[in-house]
Amino acid sequence: MNFTFSSLIAIVPMCCVAATGIAAMVAEAFREPGERMPIGPLGAIGLVGAAIASAALWNSNATSFGVVVADNFGLFITWILIVVGLLSLVFSGPTIEREGLPQGEYYALMLFAIAAMMLMATATDLLVIFLALEVLSLAVYVLTGIRRDQPRATEAAFKYFLLGGFSSAFFLYGIAFTYGVTGSTRLDRIGSLIAAQSTAPTPMQLLAVGLLLVGFAFKVSAVPFQMWTPDAYEGAPPAVTGFMSTGVKAAAFGAFVRVFLSAFEPLRGEWSSLVWVIAAATMILGAVVGVVQSNVKRMLAYSSIAHAGFLLVALVSANDVGKGAVLFYLLAYAVANLGAFGIITLLDTAESPHDRVSDYAGLWTGHPALAAMMTVFLLSLGGFPPLAGFIAKWYVFSAAIKAGYYWLAIIGVLTSVVSVFFYLRIVIMMYMTPTDSPARFPPVPRLAGAALVVSAILVFYLGILPTRVLDWAAASIGTIF
């Protein structure tokens, strides 16, 4: 009995979430037509249980079956995913009620995706990472097109699914070549075997690394594999867009860091140059193309692409500052981006999605609190002090300079300046653009309003008092090396 418990303890957080996902699915099956059931709070209970389990596992380095490890790095990502999940559940309520979406199906898919994200961040075997990647991808594909009566949503889900299938094939071939080179899919064994084989990398090793890099680059929306992002973000419900722009990115970067800075660390001299180019191209494309967008969701999609570039800067730097900056940046980005998409969700109505930049004219008059919080979130994404985004970018660029990547840091700073333009466009529209007939926005539910306030507080806290969280991040990422 003790052996059984010890072999399962590392997967307790994701089991809590998966169990509530199953409960949500069963509740939907037994729900009478028109009956209201508290399925959303059921998911919140599972996420709170996962948070408690993660706190209990801190510093334990517990393992399950040798392929899942509850180290502090994975647990930090898990806590980010719990925050993403709780905020996404709250912001999803108004959309589900307004559009009559099947809440059991919606919440079950979201919870299964979160459980898979947790598994992806804590897995230490390439095959387990692939299985987790496919589970979360399938759930997000369906959530993207869950508004089945809208052609735009169907098109977005189809594009996402089709391109996601190609990326999964690349990733799977990368695993196959890695196994062919090393005879293992375990990350710790891969690193030691590659280091012991030869001082000069072989073509097979480089091919394996390249194929895995393609798979990860697709999931984090890095150039040139970002083409699905704007369409998927625009077609999905705003709450789903916020969820996949933060949760998927956090899980993917968690696995990305674990694989490339652990298993393929002996080949860092080869893949770091390619990641340098990808990071620079991603930052430039995200900032430049985002400037010309008139749709807020597409604008934030290119913003997400640019932020993926900033995270890649921290990854390629790979020093102590950069490693900790990855985790802190993921948390700061998740809170600010989810807050922005939460406001888009609350302003969405049956008559109009209010997702054009011009739709925000006069928001200060109709909803001053929402306008103020939207300003906070956008300025944080733009990197204004004293908000979380400023500290996150500061540490990313400091890591690049410390590692000697001066041009990469310069590109990052310049693209950050360019991206400020499209964030300020919305701010100017809300406060300074007169309108003869201001749009009619729905009232804000209390729970959703409270979630926005919490998000804004976290943005200020991470910007003004970041030291404790940065220390946790630095200590957490040290557990995988």
- Amino acid making up residue 248: V
Burial class (CB in 10 A: 0-12, 13-18, 19+), 50: buried
Show Cβ contacts of residue 415 under 8 Å, excluding neighbours closer than 6 positions.
283, 284, 286, 287, 288, 306, 309
* pLDDT tens for the 481 residues of the chain, in order: 444 566 788 899 999 999 999 998 888 888 777 667 778 888 999 999 999 999 999 988 888 888 899 889 999 999 999 999 999 999 998 888 888 888 888 999 999 999 999 999 999 999 999 999 999 999 999 999 988 888 888 999 999 999 888 889 999 999 999 999 999 999 989 988 888 876 778 889 999 999 999 999 999 999 888 888 898 998 889 999 999 999 999 999 999 999 998 889 888 888 999 999 999 999 999 999 999 888 899 999 999 999 999 999 999 988 878 788 899 999 999 999 999 999 998 888 767 777 888 888 888 888 889 999 999 999 999 999 899 999 999 999 999 999 999 999 999 999 999 999 889 999 998 888 776 665 667 778 889 999 999 999 999 999 999 989 988 888 887 766 5
Q: Which helix (H) or strand (E) holds 327?
A: helix 320-347
HEC states along the chain?
A: CHHHHHHHHHHHHHHHHHHHHHHHHHHHHHCCCCCCCCHHHHHHHHHHHHHHHHHHHCCCCEEECCCEEECHHHHHHHHHHHHHHHHHHHHHHHHHHHHCCCHHHHHHHHHHHHHHHHHHHHECEHHHHHHHHHHHHHHHHHHHCCCCCCHHHHHHHHHHHHHHHHHHHHHHHHHHHHHHHHCCCEHHHHHHHHHHHCCCCCHHHHHHHHHHHHHHHHHCCCCCCCCCHHHHHHHCCHHHHHHHHHHHHHHHHHHHHHHHHHHCHHHHHHHHHHHHHHHHHHHHHHHHHHHCCCEHHHHHHHHHHHHHHHHHHHHHHCCHHHHHHHHHHHHHHHHHHHHHHHHHHHHCCCCCCCCEHHHHCCHHHHCHHHHHHHHHHHHHHHCCCCCHHHHHHHHHHHHHHHCCCHHHHHHHHHHHHHHHHHHHHHHHHHHHCCCCCCCCCCCCCHHHHHHHHHHHHHHHHHHHCCHHHHHHHHHHHHHHC
pLDDT at 469: 92
At 386, is the secondary structure helix, strand, or coil? coil
Q: Which helix (H) or strand (E) holds 68?
A: strand 68-70
pLDDT at 395: 92
Q: What is the pTM of this model?
A: 0.94
Largest CA distance in the chain: 72
The two three-digit tokens of residue 394, written as one number: 């500061």
User: Which of the 8 DSSP states describes residue 355?
Assistant: -
Contact 379, 421 (CB under 8 A): no
Which residue's entry shows tokens 């559940």?
89
pLDDT at 253: 94
